Amino acid sequence: MENPYLPADSSEPIQLRDDFQWSPEQYPRIRQEHLHYERTIKDLGALSMLFGFLTMLVCLVGFGCGVLILMGRLQWAGYLDKIPPRIEFFELMKQGAGWVVVSLLGGGFSYSVIRMGYLLRKLDPRGKSMAIPILVILGFLAFPITTLVSIYLWVILSSDKGKGVFSLSYPEVVRATPSVRLSERMRFHSVLAWPFAVVFLAILTATCIGGLVGGLKPPVQ
């Protein structure tokens, strides 16, 4: 007995709905109109990957410090000096465990940021889906810099042209228009922004690592 709820020919593969349908003669114009958004999304994807790798480095340092605290090799400078000796061990374990747990959570988040950046570089719609919760979290990390970057990326992704870049039809547009490229002015602006972004992330990473390591010292014997 046939299922009345199935389509007439259920052997054909289900086609995903795409609101962006362009004819081949429109491809050059469509690519030119979306090229700035395409390049911006790819650049922000690469920036997200760099941020994720550097954050992962900070988490690895924090994890190592947490393990050393658990082993009794390190402690916060002046933290245990005011703790009664009878509970010093438990405070030390709690402190080290906190470092380890936070570092593991941060490492998982860093991996998600790296994954999101990789998918954005590939113009994969899954990267856009991952960006929604990640941008909310990033917006609170280093106010106001990451907040502004998160808002900017959100505006790009939610715009009509941003949606077009992630449409099912856009990869075919890209393959059919290899000769369409950014203007010299837009390429210059993109290249010019990278050194500032790299320097900022490097300073932020060094500050975080310095803050982690600078407050530690060997325990008083």
Classify residue 187: in a domain, yes or no: no
Range of the domain at 124: 27-171
HSE-CB at 35 with a 13 A cutoff on CA atoms is 19
Q: What's the number of domains the chain is made of?
A: 1
Instruction: Note the pLDDT tens digit of each residue in 66-116.
Output: 898 888 787 766 555 555 555 567 777 888 898 899 999 999 999 999 999
Report if residue 166 sits inside a domain: yes
Q: How confident is the model at residue 21 (pLDDT cuts 50, 70, 90)?
A: confident
Looking at the domain assignment, is residue 199 inside a domain? no
Asked whether residue 58 is assigned to any structural domain, the reply reads yes
pTM score of the predicted model: 0.80
List, for residues 129-182, the tens digit of each pLDDT value: 999 888 888 877 767 777 887 888 889 988 999 999 999 889 999 999 988 887
What is the helix, strand, coil percentage profile of the chain, to 5? Answer: 70, 0, 25
